[in-house]
Structure 1
Amino acid sequence: MRIYISADMEGITGLVDAHDVQPGGRDYERGRSMMAGDVNAAVRGALAAGATEILVNDAHGPMRNLHPDELHPAARLVRGRPKRFGMLEGLTGEHDAAVCVGYHARAGALGVLSHSFMGHEIEDMWLDGRPVGEIGLAHATAAALGVPVVALTGDDAACTEMTEWDASVVTVPVKYARDRFAAELRPEAEARRAVEEAVAGALTPAPGRPAPPAAEAVLTVRWQSASVAATLLGIPGVTAEDARTVRATGPLPALYRQFGVWMRVASSLTDQPPYC
């Protein structure tokens, strides 16, 4: 059984603000170790369920957060950027299941470090008219590859978002949002045990394949900056809904990859720190 783990950072046990998750932050180094702890708990759960191959993608920010020497030796690591498929780099239809570790709620939600991919540059996103963030877009892209997302860990807002998107996914709240930069934390050992047990349970028995998706999907993004939206109109197939909102139609996962290009364009036009 081949398992894929996409590891973000905002939804990791114990982490609550930018100082925990951004390079240079006063608690970032501790945050990196906490991230490894949650990922390793998921790896142990996958192994307990019979996984024979585990690929971990460091999916947060610079994508160089996980110390390779802190990662469980049974897992291989995809590290660094740029990546053609960003948070889902390395995921293929040959994987039997995917697990999302350390994920967070979408922009506008009252969740710990909530945002959608780019701090406050992205105000809203929709997939086929349905509000979406990193959770839903990762789930839909994995499904398009024929891979079920079976488990997700993060704060309670992220878990609620996942359940609303697909109630069959097992979720593990490792903290409970009090506000965007405050949370009630589960004890570290308790949270890691819950992650391990949940992943093992979600993979036992081995999950089935998701239903084939529609041939095409529609991705709509409302940007904070009209400049970003106007520049994206230079990409074939991108159309405007209004001065700050663009959309494109296409099959997943190709549409997911194109969205990565949109973010690179936005990054080149803006210089805003996330979480402000």
Structure 2
Amino acid sequence: MQIYISADMEGITGLVDADDVQPGGRDYERGRLMMAEDVNAAVRGALAAGATDIVVNDAHGPMRNLAPEMLHPEARLIRGRPKHMGMLEDLTPEHDAMICVGYHSRAGTLGVLSHSFMGHEIEDIWLDGMPVGEIGLAHATAAMLDVPLAALTGDDSACAETLAWDDSVTTVAVKSARDRFAAELRPVAEARQAIEEAVTTSLSVTRKRPWRSATPSPSTLRVRWQSASVASTLLGIPSVTSVDSRTVQTQGQLPALYRLFGVWTRVAASLTGQSPYC
């Protein structure tokens, strides 16, 4: 059984603030260790379920948060950037299931460190008219590769967002949001045990299931930016059209559409240079 783990950081056990998750932050080094331990709990759970191949994609920020020596020896690590598929780099139909560790809720929700890919630069994202963030786009892209999202860990807001999208996913809330930078924390040992057990259980019952029809049709991706400059610049990319002065959209097939969105975010980053949690 081949398992793919996408590891973000905002939804990791114990972390609540930008200083916990941004390089140079006063608690970032501790945050890296906490991230590794949540990931390792997921790896142990996958091994207990019979996984024979596990790859972990460091999916947060600079994507160099997990040091190789921190990771469970039975897992391989994808580290660094740029990556064509970003948070889903090297996810293929050969994977039997995907696990998302440390994920967070989308922009505009009252979740711990909530945002969609780019801090407050991205105000809203819609996929085929449905509001989405990193969770929804990851789920939809994996589904088009016929890879089910088996389990996800994060705060209670991220878990609720996941279940609203697909109630068959096993979720683990490692903290409960009190505000965007505050949470009631689950005890660390309890959270790690819950992650391990949930991954084992989810992989024991998960079967591949199509999220969309067997003959996929093009999807429409729409993004509302804070900056009209970003929207205007993106109109130089073929197939991108304007909805209003700050909103653009395009159509395409997932997962190619996910890769194109990654190009949009790199263009936006070159124009704005804003910190993720302003």
Q: Which amino acid aligns with 2:61?
A: G
Distance in 1 (alpha carbons) for counterparts of 2:212 and 2:249: 23
Q: Could you tell me which residue of structure 2 aligns to residue 247 of structure 1? A: 249
- Percent of pairs with identical residues: 75
Q: Could you tell me which residue of structure 1 aligns to residue 273 of structure 2? A: 271
Distance in 1 (alpha carbons) for counterparts of 2:126 and 2:55: 29
Say whether 1:64 aligns with 2:64: yes
Distance in 1 (alpha carbons) for counterparts of 2:192 and 2:211: 31
Range with greater deviation from structure 2 (76-85 or 202-211):
202-211
Q: Could you tell me which residue of structure 2 aligns to residue 209 of structure 1? A: 209
Q: Could you tell me which residue of structure 1 aligns to residue 228 of structure 2? A: 226
Q: Is the 8 A contact 1:83 1:89 kept in 2?
A: yes
Say whether 1:150 aligns with 2:139: no
Q: Could you tell me which residue of structure 1 aligns to residue 25 of structure 2? A: 25
SS at match of 1:273: coil
Q: Is the 8 A contact 1:146 1:212 kept in 2?
A: no
Distance in 1 (alpha carbons) for counterparts of 2:111 and 2:205: 32
Q: Is the 8 A contact 1:56 1:78 kept in 2?
A: yes
Give the CA deviation at 1:146. Answer: 0.7
Q: Is the 8 A contact 2:136 2:165 kept in 1?
A: yes
Q: Which amino acid aligns with 1:124?
A: D
How do 1:92-171 residues align onto structure 2 when only pairs under 5 Å count?
92-171=92-171
1:200-252: CA deviation from partner (whole Å, max 9, x where unpaired)? 00000352232445321100000000000000000000000000000010000
Distance in 2 (alpha carbons) for counterparts of 1:211 and 1:170: 16
One of 260, 263, 266 as aligned partner of 2:262? 260
Alignment TM-score, normalising by the size of structure 1: 0.99
Range with greater deviation from structure 2 (205-214 or 52-61):
205-214
Distance in 1 (alpha carbons) for counterparts of 2:16 and 2:252: 36
Q: Is the 8 A contact 1:105 1:135 kept in 2?
A: yes
Q: Which amino acid aligns with 1:245?
A: T
Q: Which amino acid aligns with 1:174?
A: V
Q: Is the 8 A contact 2:9 2:60 kept in 1?
A: yes
RMSD: 0.8
Q: Could you tell me which residue of structure 2 aligns to residue 85 of structure 1? A: 85
Give the CA deviation at 1:90. Answer: 1.0
How many residues align? The count is: 276
SS at match of 2:137: helix
Where in structure 2 are there 5+ consecutive unaligned residues? none
1:58-77: CA deviation from partner (whole Å, max 9, x where unpaired)? 00000000011010000000
Q: Could you tell me which residue of structure 2 aligns to residue 183 of structure 1? A: 183
Give the CA deviation at 1:271. Answer: 1.6
Q: Which amino acid aligns with 1:262?
A: W
CA change 1:242–1:206 in 2 (3 A) is closer
SS at match of 1:204: helix
Q: Could you tell me which residue of structure 2 aligns to residue 174 of structure 1? A: 174
Range with greater deviation from structure 2 (35-44 or 200-209):
200-209
1:65-96: CA deviation from partner (whole Å, max 9, x where unpaired)? 00110100000000000000000001001000
SS at match of 2:63: coil
Q: Could you tell me which residue of structure 2 aligns to residue 54 of structure 1? A: 54
Q: Which amino acid aligns with 1:142?
A: A
Range with greater deviation from structure 2 (209-218 or 73-82):
209-218
Distance in 2 (alpha carbons) for counterparts of 1:89 and 1:209: 21
Q: Which amino acid aligns with 2:55?
A: L
Q: Is the 8 A contact 1:119 1:275 kept in 2?
A: yes
Where in structure 1 are there 5+ consecutive unaligned residues? none
Q: Is the 8 A contact 2:62 2:80 kept in 1?
A: yes
